Structure 1
Amino acid sequence: MIKKYLDNFKNFPKEIWILTLVTFINRAGTMVIPFLSKYMKENLEFSYSQIGWVMVFFGVGSIIGTWLSGKLSDKIGFYKVMVFSLFASGIVFILLQYATSFEALCVGILILTSVADMFRPAMLICLKTFTAKEDRARAYSLTRAAINLGFIFGPVLGGLIIMQMGYEYIFYIDGATCILAIIVFMFFVRDKKTPVKLVEHNKQKEKVSVMKDRPFMLHLVICLITGILFFQIFTTLPLYHKERFNMTEFDSGLLLSLNGLLILLFELPIVNYVSRNKINNHKVISLGLLLMASSFFLLLLPFEAILIPMMIFMTCGVMLTFPFANSFAMDRSHKQEGKYMAAFTMSYSFAHILSGKSGMEIIEYTRSYEPNWLFMGCLGLVGTLLVFVLSKMVVKEELNDPAMVTVEVNDSK
C-alpha cells in the first residue's frame, strides 16, 4: 500500500520538487490567515460587518494581484513574478501587525493580498513549464499535497503560538517563512522559458479570447461557487467554533489540520485513479460539489460531534474539485497561459470577496449561523447543476469542431 502511494510521486523533474518544497515552507508559515476573523473579532473588537468588509479588501487585493501576475508573467516571465511576490509579501506580513484600526487593516490586507496573490498564477505557469500535459493534474496535486502538509502543521502551531505568546509573533513568522521560501526557490531553480510549444491543428485557436471562451467562462462561475463554499472554513467557521462550542484556536487548528491530512493522504491517489481510468472530470467535479454542499447541510445539526464529519465531507469535495478544475483551465489556455491562469485564479479572488462578506452579512442580519449554512448548501447544489451544463457544452464543442485540438511537442532543445 505504501509503495503504491509513493508511486504516485514518481517521474517529476527537480524543479517541481523544489516548487513543492517552497510551497510547503510558505504554507506552513502562513499561520495568521485561518485565525484572521477571530483576531479581528476578539483582539480588535470589529463587528461582523467590519470583518466582512476586511474580507472584501482581501478579495479585491487578490483580484489585483492575480491580474497583475497574468500581465507580468506573459511579459517578464513567471520567475521574476514569483520572486517579487514572496519577498514583498514577507515584508508586508511583518508590518501588518501594526495595522490595528479598521481603515488601516483594510489597506494593509489590500496591499498584502495584492502582492501575495501574484504568486499563484505564476506558480501555475511554472508547473506547466516543467511538466508534460498528461502529468499536470498530478503535479498540481503534488503542490496541493505540500500546501496541505503545511496546512497540517500551520494551524496547530499557529493556535499554540497564539495561546502562549499572542498574535504579534504570528505576523513575524509568516513574514520570515515567505522570505525563506523564495530564497530556497532562487537557490535551486533557474529561470527558464516554456519547454514545450503548442502546435495548433486550427490556427484560429491562438486568437481565442478568454471572455469569448464560453465553456471557460462557465467554468470560472463554477470555480467561484467552489471557492465561496471552501473559504467559509477560514471566515465564518472559526467564529462558529468559538461562539457555539467555545472551542480554542488550538481546537479549530486541529480541525483544519484534519482537512490538510486527508488531502495529503488521498488527493494524489484519487487524481491518479481518475486519470488512469479516464473518468470524466466533470462527473468528478459534480460529485465534489455535491459533497461540499452536504457538508453545510450537516452543520444544521447543532452538535459539536458533527464538526468532524462536516470537515471530512468538505475535504472530500475539495479533493474532487480543485485539481480537475485547475487541469481544465490549463488545457484551455491556448498559448495565453498568463491571461487564462490569472482569470482562473481571479475566480477564487472574487470568491474571497463574496464568501466572507455574504457569510458575515447573513450572520449579522439573522443573528444566527444556520441560515448561512443553508444558503451555502443550496449554492453548492446550483454549482453541481452548472457542472452538468458545462459538460454538455464541452461535448457539443468537440462534436462541432473536432479539429480544435491542442498537441504539445517537446521543444526543450
Structure 2
Amino acid sequence: MIQKAFRNYISNFQGFSREVWILTLVTFINRAGTMVLPFLSKYLHEDLHFSLSQVGTIMVFFGIGSMLGSWLGGKLSDTIGFYKIMIFSLLVSGLMFFGLRFVTSFYGLCISMFLIMTVSDMFRPAMFVSLGAYAKPENRTRALTLVRLAINLGFAAGPALGGLIIMNIGYKGLFWVDGLTCIIAILIFWIKVKEKKKSTYLDKEHPGDVLVESVFKDKIYWLFLASTLIVGIMFFQLFTTIPIYHREQFGLTELQTGLLLTLNGVLVFFLEMPIVNYIEKNKKDKLKVIILGCFLMTISLFLMLVNTWAGILLIMMLFMTFAEMFNFPFSNAFALSRAPKHHQGRYMAIFAMSYSLAHILSAKIGMTIIDKYGYQTNWLVMGTLGFIGTLIGIYVYNLVEKEKLNVKNS
C-alpha cells in the first residue's frame, strides 16, 4: 500500500525536460536562502526599533521596487530574452544583499530596499517566460507547480533555519546567506542551461494561448488581476503582520513562527503536485479552483479573529496552505495561457506586479490598521477583502464562459 502510494506520488513528477528540473533546483537553492523575507518586519521592528508605521513605509519601498523590477523583467524578457535577465537579476541582487546588513538608517533602508527589489524581482517574470520556453503545453501547469514546490520547500527549510541563525548569530547573518545563495543558484543555471531564444510551444496552434493582441485591452485579465491582488494582500500578511502578532498576542519565538511557516512549506511539498495532477487529469475548471482558493484564504483570515487560543494559528495555517495550493499554481497557469505570442513577458510582468503591489498594500494597510485600530480590525478588513475577491473571481468565470461561447459560435 505504501509502495503504491509512493509510486503514484513519484509519477506526478514525470515528463519534465532537463531544463525544467535545473530551473527547479536553482529556485530551491535561491528560496532556501531567502531567510530575510519572513523575518524582515520583525528585524526592522525589534532589532532596529522602527515603529510599525515606519516598517510599513519601508515595506512600501520594498513593494515599489518589486513592481518596477517585475515590469522591467517582463519588458526586457520580450526584447533581449529571459536568460540574460535571470542571470543579471540573481547575480547583482546577491551582491547587493551582502551590503544590506550595513544599512540601518530609515531613509537608507527605504532606498536600499527599493534598489534591491528592483533588481531581484526582474527574475520572476523572466522565470515564468522560461517555463513557457522549456515546458511543453501539456506539462506547463505541472511545471509551474514543480517550481512552486521548490519555492515552498525552500521556504520550509528557510524560516526554521533562519530562526536558528537569528537566535545564534543574529539578523546580520541572514543577509550573508541570502546573497550567497542567490549567486550560487544563478551560477548553476548559467553553467547547466543553455539559452533558448524562443518557445516553440506558444503559438496559435494551441487554443487558449492567444486571445487578445494587447494586455491593456484584455478586460478579463485585469479583473482576474484584481482578484489576484486581493489574494496576495491576504497571503502576504504571513510575512508582515502575522509574525509580529505571533509574539505580541501569543508570545511565540522566532523559531516557533518559523516552524509554523515550515508546516506550510512541507504540506505544499507533499500535497500540491498530486492535487494539481488530479485536477488536470479530471479536467476540472481551473478558474473554479482559483475561486475556491480565494474563498479558503478568506476563511483563514477570519479565523484570526479568535485571539484567546494559540491553536487557532495552526488551524489558520492549514486553511491558508490549502488556499495557496488551489489558487497559486492555477493563477500562474491562467495568466500565462492568456498571453499572445511574443507578449508572454508583458503578461507575466503585470501578473508579477500584482503580487508586488500586494506586498505594498499588505504591509502598509495592515501595519496602519494595527497601529490605529488593533489586530482584530485588520483581520476583519482582510477577510472582507477576500470575500470581495471571491465575488470578482466568480464574475471572471462567467465572462470566460461567455467568451468561450462566442468563440464557439463565431
Where structure 1 has 5 or more consecutive residues not aligned to the other structure, the ranges are 405-413
- 1:383 maps to 2:384: no
CA contact (8 A) 1:61 1:110 kept: yes
Aligned to 2:327: 321
CA distance in 2, matches of 1:94, 1:195: 35
Of 256, 271, 290, 1:251 maps to 256
Give the C-alpha shift of residue 251 in structure 1: 0.7
Aligned to 1:262: 267
CA distance in 1, matches of 2:225, 2:64: 17
Of 317, 329, 340, 2:347 maps to 340
Give the C-alpha shift of residue 222 in structure 1: 0.9
Question: Matches of residues 262-281 of structure 1 in structure 2 within 5 Å?
Answer: 262-281=267-286
Aligned to 1:128: 132
Aligned to 2:219: 214
CA distance in 1, matches of 2:104, 2:155: 26
Q: What's the RMSD between the two structures over aligned residues?
A: 1.4
Calculate the TM-score normalised by the size of structure 1.
0.95
CA distance in 2, matches of 1:177, 1:167: 16
Give the C-alpha shift of residue 326 in structure 1: 0.7
Give the C-alpha shift of residue 373 in structure 1: 0.6
* Aligned structure 1 segments of 4 or more residues deviating by more than 3 angstroms: none
Aligned to 2:313: 307
Aligned to 1:82: 86
Aligned to 1:401: 407
CA distance in 1, matches of 2:15, 2:198: 19
Aligned to 1:223: 228
Structure 1 pair 14/48, CA: closer, same or farther in 2 (3 Å)?
same
Where 2:204 maps in the other structure, the secondary structure is: strand
Aligned to 2:368: 361
Deviations 1:146-200 (A, max 9, x none): 1111111100000000000111111001000000000110110010122315136
Question: Matches of residues 27-42 of structure 1 in structure 2 within 5 Å?
Answer: 27-42=31-46
CA distance in 1, matches of 2:205, 2:330: 23
Deviations 1:259-286 (A, max 9, x none): 1011001111111111111111121111
Of 125, 142, 147, 2:146 maps to 142
- 1:331 maps to 2:337: yes
CA contact (8 A) 1:89 1:112 kept: yes
Opposite residue 386 of structure 1, the aligned amino acid is I
Where 1:401 maps in the other structure, the secondary structure is: helix
Opposite residue 259 of structure 1, the aligned amino acid is N
Where structure 2 has 5 or more consecutive residues not aligned to the other structure, the ranges are none
Give the C-alpha shift of residue 213 in structure 1: 0.3
CA distance in 2, matches of 1:193, 1:331: 20
Of 237, 244, 252, 1:239 maps to 244
Opposite residue 63 of structure 2, the aligned amino acid is G
CA contact (8 A) 2:211 2:338 kept: no
Aligned residues: 401
CA contact (8 A) 1:130 1:194 kept: no
Of 60, 64, 83, 2:64 maps to 60
CA contact (8 A) 2:212 2:218 kept: no
Give the C-alpha shift of residue 201 in structure 1: 9.5
CA contact (8 A) 2:211 2:339 kept: no
Deviations 1:76-129 (A, max 9, x none): 100000000000110111111111011000111101110110001000011010
